[in-house]
C-alpha cells in the first residue's frame, strides 16, 4: 500500500519506490555497520519534500535491502509496481543502493517496453541523516525531474539514473567510484540532463515517446556467466567456467577493442562451447569505447567462430539484456541478432 507523503493542489502525481540502500541507512551503535531502515527516517530528514507542489506517495520494499542482495525477482517486483501504478502517476522515483543500481537500471530499461513516463533511479553515498549527505540533493532533484513536463509531455520518458547533478540513460551507467559523490559515469553516452541553477534537458538525446501501450516483461533467465580475461589465466580455470552446467550465455570481457588470447586451448574451448549452443557476447573491459571484432588478428577469430560483438554495451547492460532476451524463450539466432540491435538506446550500433 502506498503511503501519502505530500499533498498539493497540483495535478502532478509522483510515486517513490523505496528499495533500500545507503540513502536510508543508519549506523549501528554497537558494530558501526550501516544497516537499511524504513522510509520514515528519510521523510524526517528531508522536510523539503513537503514544499513540492506535487502529490507524492511512497511504497516501500519489505524488508528494505542493501542492494548487494538485489536479485532478478526484485527487478520483477519493481516492474510490477510500475505497471500496477502506471496510470495513476506522472513519474516514478526508485530509491536504491548504489552498488547494483546500474544493473537494476539496465534490467528495468529492457523490461519496460514503450515506456512513456520517467523512471528515475537514485541513491546516495552517505546516509540521509549525515550532515554532508548527498542523499537530499539526489532525492529532491530526482523528484523534480520525474515531475518535469515539456509541452505537457514528460521531459524524460525513460529509465534513468540521477546522481551528483547528472541524469544518465539507465542502461549506459556503471558505478565507477565507491567513495566519491560522483559515483556513476556513462562513458559512452552523454548525460540526458544536468542540474545546475536550471535543469537543462538534452532533449535531442532523449528516447522518443510512442503511443503504444506499456508492455512489461517479467520473465528473466539468469543462466549467464561472466568471464573477465586476464594475462596468465590458466586453461584449468577457464575450462571450469566455460563448461559450467546450465549456462546458456556468456559475457566475455575482453581486452581493448575486443581482443582475446590466441592460445590453442582458449580458442578450442570457446569453439566447443559455441558449437554446443552457448551464446557468447564480447564486450570490452575498458570503461569506455567499443568492441570492433576484426580490427586485430586476436579478435578476427572470435568473429569467425560466431562470438557476438557487443559494441559499446556496459557489462551491466550485456548481462541484463541476455537475461531479458533469454527470458522470452527466443531462438539463439534471434538472441544473437537482438544483442547487436539497440532496443532501448543501450548500444551504438
Task: Cite the active site residues.
Answer: 22
Are the C-beta atoms of 162 and 170 separated by less than 8 Å? no
Are the C-beta atoms of 6 and 50 separated by less than 8 Å? yes
Question: Which is nearer to ligand ASP, 18 or 110 (by Cβ)?
Answer: 18
Q: How far is CA 161 from the centre of its chain?
A: 8
3-class SS of residue 275: helix
Question: Which is nearer to ligand ASP, 24 or 345 (by Cβ)?
Answer: 24
Give the footprint of ligand ASP on this chain (CB under 6 A).
20-22, 66-68, 97-99, 123, 125
Distance between CA 29 and CA 36 in Å, rounded?
A: 14
Are the C-beta atoms of 162 and 142 separated by less than 8 Å? yes
* Closest approach of ligand ASP to the CB of residue 162, in Å: 14
Give percent helix, percent strand, percent coil of the chain, each to the nearest 5.
35, 25, 40
Helices (H) and strands (E) in the chain, counts: 9, 21
Distance between CA 36 and CA 259 in Å, rounded?
A: 42
Question: Which is nearer to ligand ASP, 98 or 320 (by Cβ)?
Answer: 98
Pull the grid cell for residue 144: 523534480
Distance between CA 157 and CA 208 in Å, rounded?
A: 7
* Closest approach of ligand ASP to the CB of residue 216, in Å: 24
* Closest approach of ligand ASP to the CB of residue 229, in Å: 27
Q: Give the side-chain half-sphere CA count within 13 A for 101.
A: 37
Question: Which is nearer to ligand ASP, 122 or 254 (by Cβ)?
Answer: 122
Are the C-beta atoms of 304 and 280 separated by less than 8 Å? no
C-alpha dihedral sign at 73, 100, 98, 63: positive
* Closest approach of ligand ASP to the CB of residue 16, in Å: 16
**Phi and psi of 57, rounded to 5°?**
-115, 160
The owner of cell 495535478 is: 11
Question: Which is nearer to ligand ASP, 35 or 336 (by Cβ)?
Answer: 35
DSSP classification of residue 307: P
Question: Which is nearer to ligand ASP, 20 or 191 (by Cβ)?
Answer: 20
* Closest approach of ligand ASP to the CB of residue 130, in Å: 12
- Give the residue closest to ligand ASP by C-beta: 97
Who contacts 73 (Cβ-Cβ below 8 Å, separation ≥6)? none
Amino acid at each position: 500500500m502506498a503511503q501519502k507523503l505530500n499533498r498539493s493542489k497540483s495535478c502532478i502525481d509522483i510515486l517513490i519506490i523505496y528499495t533500500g540502500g545507503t540513502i536510508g541507512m543508519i549506523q549501528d551503535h554497537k558494530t558501526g555497520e550501516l544497516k537499511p531502515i524504513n522510509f520514515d527516517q528519510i521523510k524526517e530528514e528531508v522536510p523539503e519534500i513537503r514544499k513540492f507542489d506535487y502529490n507524492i506517495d511512497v511504497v516501500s520494499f519489505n524488508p528494505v535491502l542493501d542492494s548487494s542482495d538485489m536479485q532478478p525477482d526484485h527487478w520483477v517486483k519493481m516492474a510490477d509496481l510500475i505497471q500496477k501504478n502506471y496510470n495513476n502517476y506522472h513519474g516514478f522515483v526508485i530509491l536504491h543502493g548504489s552498488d547494483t543500481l546500474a544493473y537494476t537500471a539496465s534490467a528495468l530499461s529492457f523490461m519496460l517496453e514503450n515506456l512513456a513516463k520517467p523512471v528515475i533511479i537514485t541513491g546516495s553515498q552517505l546516509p540521509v541523516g549525515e550532515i554532508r549527505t548527498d542523499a537530499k540533493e539526489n532525492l529532491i532533484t530526482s523528484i523534480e525531474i520525474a515531475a518535469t513536463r515539456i509541452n505537457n509531455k514528460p521531459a524524460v520518458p525513460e529509465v534513468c539514473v540521477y546522481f551528483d547533478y547528472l541524469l544518465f540513460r539507465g542502461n549506459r551507467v556503471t558505478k565507477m567510484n565507491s567513495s566519491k559523490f560522483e559515483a556513476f559515469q556513462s562513458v559512452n553516452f552523454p548525460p540526458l540532463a544536468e542540474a545546475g541553477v536550471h535543469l537543462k534537458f538534452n532533449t535531442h538525446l532523449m528516447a522518443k515517446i510512442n503511443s503504444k501501450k506499456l508492455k512489461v516483461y517479467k520473465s528473466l533467465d539468469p543462466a549467464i556467466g561472466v568471464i573477465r580475461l586476464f594475462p596468465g589465466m590458466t586453461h584449468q580455470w577457464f575450462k571450469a567456467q566455460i563448461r559450467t552446467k546450465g549456462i546458456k550465455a556468456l559475457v566475455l570481457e575482453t581486452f581493448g577493442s575486443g581482443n582475446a588470447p590466441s592460445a590453442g586451448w582458449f580458442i578450442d574451448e570457446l569453439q566447443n562451447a559455441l558449437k554446443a549452443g552457448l551464446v557468447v557476447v564480447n564486450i570490452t573491459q575498458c570503461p569506455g569505447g567499443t568492441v570492433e571484432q576484426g580490427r586485430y588478428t586476436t579478435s578476427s577469430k572470435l568473429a569467425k567462430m560466431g562470438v557476438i560483438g557487443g559494441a559499446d554495451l556496459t557489462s551491466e547492460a550485456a548481462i541484463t539484456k541476455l537475461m531479458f532476451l533469454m527470458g522470452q524463450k527466443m531462438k539463439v539466432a534471434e538472441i544473437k541478432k537482438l544483442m547487436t540491435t539497440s532496443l532501448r538506446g543501450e548500444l551504438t550500433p
